[in-house]
Amino acid sequence: MEPVRLSKRMAELGLCSRREADEYIARGWVTVDGVVVDVLGSKVLPEQKIELRRQAQRAQSQRVTVLLNKPVGYVSGQAEQGYQPAVVLIRPENHWAGDASGIRFAREHLGNLAPAGRLDIDSVGLLVLTQDGRVAKALIGEESGVEKEYLVRVSGRLGPEGLALLNHGLSLDGQPLKPAKVQWQNADQLRFVLQEGKKRQIRRMCELVGLRVTGLKRIRIGRIALGDLPQGKWRYLGADERF
Instruction: Please report whether residue 243 resides in a domain.
Output: no
Residues 57 and 99 in one domain: no
Residues 116 and 231 in one domain: yes
Count up the domains in the chain and report the number. 3
Residues 135 and 72 in one domain: yes
**d(Cα 150, Cα 40) in Å, to the nearest integer?**
42
Residues 231 and 121 in one domain: yes
Characterize the bridge pairing of strands 212-221 and 124-130: parallel
Q: Tens digits of per-residue pLDDT, 41-61?
A: 999 999 999 999 998 888 777
**d(Cα 223, Cα 116) in Å, to the nearest integer?**
15
Residues 106 and 216 in one domain: no
Which class for 94: exposed (0-12), middle (13-18), buried (19 or more C-beta within 10 A)? middle
Q: Give catalytic residue positions.
A: 120
**pLDDT value for 134:** 83
Residues 55 and 71 in one domain: no
User: Considering 61, 80, 98, which residue would you say is the last residue of a domain?
Assistant: 61
Instruction: Please report whether residue 129 resides in a domain.
Output: yes
Structural domain harbouring 170:
148-221
Q: Tens digits of per-residue pLDDT, 65-106?
A: 999 999 999 999 877 778 899 999 999 999 999 999 999 998
Of the candidates 129, 119, 146, 137, which has an alpha carbon nearest to the alpha carbon of residue 63?
A: 129
Instruction: Please report whether residue 69 resides in a domain.
Output: yes
Are 125 and 215 contacting, i.e. CB atoms less than 8 angstroms apart?
Answer: no
CATH assignment at residue 108: 3.30.70.580
Q: DSSP states of 58-84 as a string?
A: HHHHT--EEEEEEPTT-BSSS-BTTBP
Q: DSSP states of 122-175 as a string?
A: T-EEEEEEES-HHHHHHHHSTT----EEEEEEEES---HHHHHHHHTT-EETTE
Q: In this predicted model, which residue has the larger pLDDT, 141 or 4?
A: 4
CATH assignment at residue 10: 3.10.290.10
Of the candidates 190, 179, 123, 124, which has an alpha carbon nearest to the alpha carbon of residue 156?
A: 190
Residues 73 and 132 in one domain: yes
pTM assigned to the model: 0.80
What percent helix, strand, coil does the chain show, rounded to 5?
25, 30, 45
